[in-house]
Amino acid sequence: MGRESEADEEIFDAVDRALRKHGYAELTMQDIADESTKSKSLLHYHYDTKEDLLVAFLEHLLDSYEERLECRSAEPPEERLVEFLARFVFTPEDGDREAFHLALLEMRSQGPFNDRIREQLGRSDRLLRETVAEIIEDGIDRKVFKPVDPERTAALLIATLDGARTRQITLGDSNDSYTRVVVEELLDRVIEPILTGDTDLPSLEEALADSDREG
Amino acid sequence: MGRESEADEEIFDAVDRALRKHGYAELTMQDIADESTKSKSLLHYHYDTKEDLLVAFLEHLLDSYEERLECRSAEPPEERLVEFLARFVFTPEDGDREAFHLALLEMRSQGPFNDRIREQLGRSDRLLRETVAEIIEDGIDRKVFKPVDPERTAALLIATLDGARTRQITLGDSNDSYTRVVVEELLDRVIEPILTGDTDLPSLEEALADSDREG
């Protein structure tokens, strides 16, 4: 994938808004056109089917997430890890971010029936796990973390963050703090014990206040 | 909910088989009738809509899960906890159990748009979390576990187990051992550290070999 054109960016913004409004299963090309300055027929000129457009949208999401992660790679590993975890916490200011993740969850339940969606899901899983594993390896090299197994630790952390998010978005308002409780417990129970004596964990509150959180 | 009739049991078995074959979004009353000795019109006599039947099916699942959990409540808490975790591990012998959980995941992504489904999801979340919290409280009382916060520990464990399962079922074959890796790490990293000196953790392998695993 080369650099995206402005036209692509505008289309992906429209897909994002349409997914938040309509979810995935019911989404039509017309819904996307309604959120865009492009007509439905122009969308079809660029993308044959709704599936083509959504696969391109997933690729775009992963590309930009990958870029953002790379920008951070010079920071101290303990800071990167807390920032990574903080991105999974939903706060009341997050607006329709839950709606967005709910649409992604619908797409995920289609993964096993759709090779191209599954391919993007697999890429997302590898990106998340490799990012965490790489942060942990870096921390072990710098003697910030004890020598745990980076891949297994990453699998544990990603499963936990994913599960907390899924439960928060599917259970509704009564569980506002599910992701926050789980991230706090992960920090206390899984991350703190692997810190070497010299390291302090950065505060979750600061990481949450950081403006560059996941969209 | 009183005791279920044999007719109900047979209908719920048909729903179970139909969900594994067709998933949730595409499921029709005819698909369920095809798996049953009942006709579609007889199904409609008992349940006005597909939604009515699926909500009753979710209630039935939760009722039987609740019953099974109650049967165990006299066992040592460390055994109950390992058994609870083992139920989330997928093994190659599980057959179409992944297909079943995938259908449930589709239903979950509908939760926020459907009050009655959300109500059952909320009940399921409370049942799982309260069960784990109760096992941990029992363990603290019996000096098997250190005095951790039972509710927060339960939230952490349930999020992790749920996330591992979701990733395993949505990512396909290449991740066969996702749930096993995560459960092993949970045992080593979260459960072992809260054991008091006198307690040994039962083996996961034995709990997996136990026949009474989740369907």
Residue B161, chain A, CB below 8 Å: the answer is: yes
- Buried-state track A131-148, b at ≥16 Cβ within 10 A, e below 16: bbbbbbbbbbeeebbeeb
What is the structure's pLDDT at B215?
44
From chain B, the residues in CB contact with A163 under 8 A are 158-164, 166
Q: How far apart are CA B145 and CA B78, in angstroms?
A: 8
Low-confidence ranges of chain B (pLDDT < 50): 1-2, 214-215
C-beta atoms of A122 and B163 within 8 A: no
Residue B58, chain A, CB below 8 Å: the answer is: no
One-letter amino acid of A183: V
pLDDT at residue A212 tops 60: no
Select the residue of B122, B189, B190 nearest A171 (Cβ to Cβ).
B122
Q: What angle do CA B93, B96, B101 make, to 5 degrees?
A: 115
Dihedrals phi, psi of B38, to nearest 5 degrees? -85, 155
Q: What angle do CA A67, A68, A74 make, to 5 degrees?
A: 100
What is the structure's pLDDT at B53?
93
Calculate the alpha carbon distances from A48 to A10, A16, A25, A33 in Å: 17, 18, 18, 14
Distance from CA of B130 to the nearest CA of A (A): 14
Task: Count CA within 13 A, CB hemisphere, residue B70.
Answer: 6
- The pLDDT tens digits of the residues spanning B62-90 come to 998 888 887 777 889 999 999 999 999 98
Distance from CA of B178 to the nearest CA of A (A): 7
What band does A90 get if pLDDT is binned at 50, 70 and 90?
confident
pLDDT at residue A132 tops 90: yes
From chain A, the residues in CB contact with B171 under 8 A are 111, 118, 121-122, 125
Asked if B133 contacts B151 with a C-beta cutoff of 8 angstroms, the reply is: yes
Mean pLDDT of chain A: 89
What is the structure's pLDDT at A1?
45
Give the pTM.
0.91
Asked if B160 contacts A163 with a C-beta cutoff of 8 angstroms, the reply is: yes
Asked if A105 contacts A111 with a C-beta cutoff of 8 angstroms, the reply is: no
